[in-house]
Amino acid sequence: MNRVYVCNCFGVTEAQVRKHAEAGACTPRQIASACKAGTDCGSCVRRIQALLGRGACRTEVADQAPSVLAELAELDEAA
Ligand code: FES
């Protein structure tokens, strides 16, 4: 198996960072909360940022639009 490590301090791979990003972690801080990557020597934070910048994070405006519209509809009903 070909594992590309992003964070050697905690043995976190690129695949793991992508998985956390897909689950909604959009910043290096959120990735750190999810798997500790970047919280020791910090030398991997730029690589994590680069991975997030390449679209690993799936929280885009288009993804949020339906839930925002649903909230607005609920507010309309409540008024
Ligand atoms: S390599 Fe990630 S914290 Fe050190």
* Gap from CA of 63 to ligand 1 centroid (Å): 31
Over its length of 79 residues, how does the chain's per-residue pLDDT go in tens digits? Answer: 679 999 999 999 999 999 999 999 999 999 999 999 999 999 999 999 999 987 667 655 545 556 656 776 777 776 6
Q: How many domains does the chain have?
A: 1
- Ligand 1 atom nearest the C-alpha of 42 is 3
Task: Judge if the beta carbon of residue 7 lies within 6 A of ligand 1.
Answer: yes
33: domain CATH number is: 1.10.10.1100
Residues 6 or more apart from 11 whose CB is under 8 A from it? 5
Q: Residue 54: its pLDDT value, please?
A: 74
Give residue 66's domain range: 5-78
Structure tokens at 51: 């991975």
